[in-house]
Structure 1
Amino acid sequence: MTRASRGVPSARVVTVLALCWARLCGGTIGFDDRSGLYVCTGLRWGYARGGTTIGGVFLTNARPSAGLLRHEAVHADQWARFGLGFAVRYLLEEMRNPGSRNRFEIEAGLADGGYGRSG
């Protein structure tokens, strides 16, 4: 758990909640050593776009590529840096600068995240 939450107590709590959410949404939980993330696939609902990282957990339907997991690992680091406030920061940024203009997505790497040039 510590690796996935980057050792931050608030991110650890969110990570546990996200793992519970994954089970409720019908997901299969695994751990990716390279990215240090719990990867929950097979979700029928409960995530945005192609997938969502909450704490140290990546929630999605399909098996993600290595590039996408690199991108999502940066989001896990952002959760660790900003704590529980990251969700609010991200949503506010997304309202002002959606998609490929979102500074958190830019930091995570647009190409790895599957964003085209137009976003």
Structure 2
Amino acid sequence: MTPAQRLRQIANVLNLSTPLGLVVAAASGCAVSHGPRGLLIAAGYQWTLPHAGAFTLGNVILYRAPQGVAGTNTVLLGHEERHSTQYAYCLGLPFLALYGIAAGWSMLRSGNPASRNFFERQAGLVAGGYVDTHNRRQGSQADQRIEATS
């Protein structure tokens, strides 16, 4: 682990986001194993919310996928790792409120909780399995017709 990854790991324990992740993993019956770069992989998450295939609480990445499959998609793992870093710089649990505000803003602006969400954009929309509807709207046929007639 790099010094920055170790710092993130320690920060997310102290700010209580990783302990929360471990409680949620245990309560939901996940199998937890050590992942790369100080991350913990929790496999087999089956609660209804959130709807995502994977989500992060501190340094714990919870996957709906079973053990042996969870954490094998390196692109998705990188996306979730960036969320882990966001927990550290948002001082832990305040990240949940900030993320909720960003998701609400995104819903108002784009009709979905990710496309205009600062945290999802910073983590990489495509890496997280999201479609960037904001950029698609900018290049819509209506925009092209307006530009062509100008």
Q: What code does the residue aligned with 1:6 have?
A: Q
Name the structure 2 match of 1:67. 75
1:118 is aligned to 2:133: yes
Contact residue 4 and residue 57 of structure 1 kept, 8 A: no
Q: How many residues align?
A: 115
Percentage of identical aligned residues: 33
Contact residue 4 and residue 38 of structure 1 kept, 8 A: no
Residues 27 and 75 of structure 1: CA distance in aligned 2, closer, same or farther (over 3 Å): same
TM-score (norm 1): 0.85
Deviation at 1:24, TM superposition (A): 1.1
Secondary structure at 1:30's aligned position in 2?
strand
Q: Return 5+ residue gaps in structure 2 as ranges.
A: 107-112, 135-150
Q: Distance in 2 between matches of 1:26 and 1:100?
A: 31
1:94 is aligned to 2:103: yes
Residues 47 and 3 of structure 1: CA distance in aligned 2, closer, same or farther (over 3 Å): farther
Q: Distance in 2 between matches of 1:41 and 1:18?
A: 12
Root-mean-square deviation (CA, aligned residues, Å) is 2.0
Deviation at 1:100, TM superposition (A): 2.1
Q: Distance in 2 between matches of 1:4 and 1:72?
A: 17
Deviation at 1:5, TM superposition (A): 4.6
Structure 1 stretches of at least 4 aligned residues deviating more than 4 Å after TM superposition: none
Q: Return 5+ residue gaps in structure 1 as ranges.
A: none
Name the structure 2 match of 1:44. 46
Q: Which has the higher helix share?
A: 2
Contact residue 37 and residue 73 of structure 1 kept, 8 A: yes
Matches within 5 A, 1:2-13: 3=6, 5-8=8-11, 9-10=14-15, 13=16
Q: Distance in 2 between matches of 1:3 and 1:24?
A: 26
Q: What code does the residue aligned with 2:32 have?
A: I
Name the structure 1 match of 2:141. none
TM-score (norm 2): 0.69
